[in-house]
Amino acid sequence: MNVGIDGIEIRTGRLKLDLPGTFAPAKGEDPGKYTKGLGLHVSALPDAYEDIVTMAANASRRLLERKNVSPADIGRIDVATESAFDNSKPVSTYVAGCLEQVFDGDFTHANKGERKFACVSGTQVLDDAFNWVRAGRSRGRAALVVATDTALYARDDPGEATQGAGAVAMLVDRDPDLVSFGDAQGIGSVDETDFLKPNQQFPSVDGKRSMQVYLARMREALQDFARNGGDIHPDTFSLVPFHTPFPGMVRKAAALGFRHSIRDTSVEDRLADQIGRQPRPEAFDDHEAYLDGIKSYTDELRQTTTYEEWYERTVEPTLDIAREVGNWYSGSVHVARTAGLKHAFETDRALTGKNLLVASYGSGAQAEIHAETVQPGWRDEIAQLNIDEQLDRRYDLTFEEYEAIHDVHNHDETTDLEPFTTPTEEFVFDGWGRMGERKYTYVE
Ligand code: HMG
């Protein structure tokens, strides 16, 4: 059975913080730290009337409308988030409630839930939907899967420059228009304390360690994928979308992944004249010397035309949107997939039947790797995205305005602030109900 993503919609927060132009001068940092070092230009942030529910519902509404799907056609609504505001009632119930305000019919018979495992939950919900359809329990209906987060850090935390806010809504169904999922899956999962939010809104982060943990779990997932029937040869994949907390992280992960995937292949043989063969652990008496050897090999590998061309073709295009929005946590790898396909559409690449290798990651920590095959309807799907218009219409914050909106979204602060933008044809947060629930309205 051919199952995968039938349609996708992205919704960005309506505000933006210019990192080199506004954030760097206020922090007394060189703008190059953000644009060249981290690879980020802008953080997307939510206006006062936006949150994880409005962004998820707005992305979902556009998706259902343009795919001509009614509530009765949806058998499952799963939300992935690490920004939930309720320990009992899942965000998916709020999203369903919003959608029922504008669609005929209801989601009474749709199974709803919420998934948590930092950023990798955005891929786990896809996996759950895939398994549900494949198990024959969907009764011909599709799953609505949404990854939504406001990825905010405490002010002055090193992670502050990587903030972002947005949602990605996806329909998972048989005979999908966009991509189908392969069966092979690789997992690398270890109990880690690199990034966590123990009953607190903003994360406790050991930033440098989190980068090492990301790379270690990705390596384990890639090994697991290869051992279990996954083909990892670099020529197999047209695009390799990674979880992108910031593009600089992906630059590091891609080099390690490429090195691993060319081992014992003709690519390694061809490169041997230029940079030698990869060091093998058995050739070294001590592990440190092996690590030094492999690091030097990787540094040289990154300078080769073979690597540069592979990176430019398969990874760089996936970073186009992340640079303009920052980290969306659970949605980040889905933004990367979309950016890669959008770039391919705009540059007229023929991708039908071609493969993607999707590398997801969540702190705490787990990486997941699987392959996808691009479907014949992909161009029509991607042509209908309106992400460029959304990015262009964002309100550009001053640093003082950024501080004010950060306070508005800080659960420990009570700050009243007039919104910077005017909502039209969208769901907005509308205050609190008598039991402390959040309330939402659709604004014409
Ligand atoms: P930092 O310590 O402020 O930055 O924070 P830095 O000094 O390490 O500089 C960053 C890079 O910019 C470095 O490059 C510098 O050399 C370079 P690198 O050496 O790493 O290649 N640089 C410059 N380049 C050009 N011109 C300049 C310049 N100045 C410096 N003038 C850190 C960096 C990542 C620690 C911080 O942003 C952070 O804590 N981020 C949050 C944690 C994070 O994103 N971790 C990533 C892996 S974990 C993950 O992805 C999971 C996550 O999404 C959460 C989840 O799963 O839920 C975060």
Q: Which domains does the chain have, with CATH numbers?
A: 3-443 (3.40.47.10)
Question: Does residue 100 sit in helix, strand or coil?
Answer: helix
Q: Is the CB of residue 113 below 6 angstroms from any atom belonging to ligand 1?
A: no
User: Which amino acid residue places its CA nearest to atom 29 of ligand 1?
Assistant: 33
CA of 38 to the centre of ligand 1 (A): 6
What tokens appear for 315 in the block?
Answer: 């990874």
Q: Is the CB of residue 162 below 6 angstroms from any atom belonging to ligand 1?
A: yes
Nearest to 292, CA basis, from 279, 303, 283: 279
Helix axes 305-314, 247-262, angle to 10 degrees: 120
Atom from ligand 1 closest to the CA of residue 246: 44
98 is catalytic: no
pLDDT at res. 151: 98
346 is catalytic: no
Long-range (24+ apart) CB contacts under 8 A made by 351-355 are 351/238, 351/239, 351/378, 352/376, 352/378, 354/238, 355/236, 355/237, 355/238
User: Which amino acid residue places its CA nearest to atom 51 of ligand 1?
Assistant: 363
pLDDT at res. 295: 95
CA of 37 to the centre of ligand 1 (A): 7
pLDDT at res. 205: 97
Q: Is the CB of residue 391 below 6 angstroms from any atom belonging to ligand 1?
A: no
User: Which amino acid residue places its CA nearest to atom 40 of ligand 1?
Assistant: 159
Pocket test for ligand 1, best of 30, 38, 163 (most atoms within 8 A of CB): 38
Give dist(CA 226, CA 204) in Å, integer. Answer: 33
Whether the predicted model's global pTM rises above the 0.75 cut: yes
Long-range (24+ apart) CB contacts under 8 A made by 348-357 are 349/238, 351/238, 351/239, 351/378, 352/376, 352/378, 354/238, 355/236, 355/237, 355/238, 356/179, 356/237, 356/238, 356/239, 356/240, 356/241, 357/232, 357/236, 357/237, 357/239, 357/240
In what helix (H) or strand (E) does residue 431 lie, and over which residues does it extend?
strand 426-432
Kindly name the residue from 98, 114, 119, 316 that is annotated as catalytic. 119
pLDDT tens for the chain, 444 residues long, are: 999 999 999 999 999 999 999 999 999 999 999 999 999 999 999 999 999 999 999 999 999 999 999 999 999 999 999 999 999 999 999 999 999 999 999 999 999 999 999 999 999 999 999 999 999 999 999 999 999 999 999 999 999 999 999 999 999 999 999 999 999 999 999 999 999 999 999 999 999 999 999 999 999 999 999 999 999 999 999 999 999 999 999 999 999 999 999 999 999 999 999 999 999 999 999 999 999 999 999 999 999 999 999 999 999 999 999 999 999 999 999 999 999 999 999 999 999 999 999 999 999 999 999 999 999 999 999 999 999 999 999 999 999 999 999 999 999 998 889 999 999 999 999 999 999 999 999 999
pLDDT at res. 415: 85
pLDDT at res. 171: 98
Nearest to 214, CA basis, from 122, 150, 301, 119: 119
Atom from ligand 1 closest to the CA of residue 252: 21
243 is catalytic: yes
* Distant-in-sequence, close-in-space partners of 260: CB < 8 Å, separation ≥ 6: 219, 222, 223, 232
Nearest to 55, CA basis, from 323, 318, 325, 243: 325
Q: Is the CB of residue 327 below 6 angstroms from any atom belonging to ligand 1?
A: yes
Give dist(CA 191, CA 361) in Å, integer. Answer: 14
User: Which amino acid residue places its CA nearest to atom 11 of ligand 1?
Assistant: 37
Q: Is the CB of residue 32 below 6 angstroms from any atom belonging to ligand 1?
A: yes
